[in-house]
Structure 1
Amino acid sequence: MGTVVSIELADDLPASSLADLVASTCAWLHEVDARFSTYKDDSEVCRFRRGEIAFDDCSPDLRLVLNRCAELWMDTDGYFDAYAGGPLDPSGYVKGWSVEVASQRLALAGSRRHYIGAGGDIRMRGSGPGGRPWRVGVRHPWEADKFSWVLSLTDGAVATSGTYERGAHVFNPRTGTPASGLRSVTVVGPDLALADAYATAALAMGEAGLTWLAKRVADGYESAAVTDDGRAFTSPGLPIAAS
């Protein structure tokens, strides 16, 4: 998936059970990587975009992801576009979706207090160690050793998309050029797959994404953003931790 994944379980369970839960989560994420990687020639995504398999012959997971990407393309006026960079690349949805599913699987298996982080995508469930909320630092887009915000959550998701770490990996589909105007976008909400997609879409929109993000608050998605020239914006309900 092109990133490091961290898993923290705060459940009061036997060590062997915790180890099994971590192992099953890692197995799921490796399965996702094998299927959706755009870097592995034998992945299902690469085979599909070369025309070697038809949509109806794809796995249920790939069909679901492609359908969701199509829905998001409509919901974002085309700014969330799995084809924005050229060939099909659903990574802007897949990473958040895979971690959201991993959290759901952990909950069904008995873990009600956990944290899964994959790059800038994080899903928390229940309370953290000591019964306190989980704390998430949002990296400063110019100073890697500092935070722009520290968030405090129990159940919820945090997704951050930016141009400061991976460079020009998000494109404005209207112009075909790398996204500009916003340096960093963070979205907080109940579903990581949507939070991740919303952050990507807003980054692609540029400063117009600030107005678009404000409209997502009614659906339970708060946000924070930093512009290319250093201005910072937050929605009113962003769960900023008390100092």
Structure 2
Amino acid sequence: DIVTLPIGVTLDPGGIGKGIAADILANMALEQGALGILVEIGGDVRIGGTPPDGSQWRIDIEDPFVESQSIARVNLVDGAVATSSTLKRTWDNDGRTANHLIDVHTGQSMVSDVVTVSVIAVSAGIAEVIAKAGFTRHDFLTWAPTLGAAAFVVYREGSTAQTINWKDYS
């Protein structure tokens, strides 16, 4: 199908576009005979098959407050990890810091006590979508596992929380 946009209208697939692209590339490589694949696009990671050392894939989750330092690590055989953050891709908007995440309730930049949400799911596209909900759903840590996802949340004051099934991957 062809989608036509009016003049002056643009389409930004955002995070879900990165996730879906990682899924497509990983699936293509596996279909072509790759024994193991790790695809990372803009922080979205899709893995499949066996890594070169024959173990599990180890993915570090970056500490949002200390660049180049890990706050958590996950071990996967197959699946994806996506992290969304209100601390990345920010700019000044009339003296207030704005970010690229939009609160669906207000239509404005996301304002939340949550600063990052990392989600493990079957695909990077799905992980991306679920991660966004972590900024607004008060029941997120019990809701995400009902979708087959695990999640790790970092709050503005530095504390962390995780879904009950996160430990299955750490």
Q: TM-score category by the smaller chain?
A: 0.7 to 0.9
* Aligned partner of 2:100 among 160, 166, 169: 169
Query: Does residue 1:48 correspond to 2:2, yes or no?
Result: no
Please give the secondary structure, in 2, of the residue aligned with 1:172. Answer: coil
Q: Which residue of 2 aligns with 1:215?
A: 143
Shift of 1:200: 2.1
Contact 1:187/1:221 (8 A) holds in 2: yes
2:138, 2:79 → 1: CA distance?
21
1:120, 1:51 → 2: CA distance?
29
Contact 1:180/1:228 (8 A) holds in 2: no
Q: Which residue of 2 aligns with 1:144?
A: 67
Q: Which residue of 2 aligns with 1:124?
A: 47
* Aligned partner of 2:131 among 175, 180, 199: 199
Query: Does residue 1:186 correspond to 2:114, yes or no?
Result: no
Contact 1:210/1:225 (8 A) holds in 2: no
* Aligned partner of 1:229 among 142, 157, 165: 157
Larger strand proportion of the pair: 2
Query: Does residue 1:107 correspond to 2:107, yes or no?
Result: no
**TM-score normalised by the chain length of structure 2:** 0.84
Matched to 1:132, the amino acid is S
Matched to 1:171, the amino acid is I
Once superposed, what is the RMSD of the aligned Cα atoms?
2.2
Shift of 1:216: 2.4
Name structure 2 gaps, 5 residues minimum: 91-98
Name structure 1 gaps, 5 residues minimum: 1-43, 53-86
CA offset digits 1:94-128 (Å, max 9, x no partner)? 11011101111111111131101112200110221
In 2 relative to 1, CA 51–224 (structure 1 residues): closer, same or farther, beyond 3 Å?
same
Shift of 1:92: 2.6
Larger helix proportion of the pair: 1
2:61, 2:6 → 1: CA distance?
34
**TM-score normalised by the chain length of structure 1:** 0.60
In 2 relative to 1, CA 107–49 (structure 1 residues): closer, same or farther, beyond 3 Å?
farther
Matched to 2:131, the amino acid is A
Contact 2:118/2:152 (8 A) holds in 1: yes
Pairs aligned (count): 159
1:224, 1:160 → 2: CA distance?
9
CA offset digits 1:194-243 (Å, max 9, x no partner)? 1011112323x1xxx351342121221000111122221111221443xx
CA offset digits 1:16-36 (Å, max 9, x no partner)? xxxxxxxxxxxxxxxxxxxxx
1:136, 1:210 → 2: CA distance?
27
Matched to 1:158, the amino acid is V
Shift of 1:178: 1.4
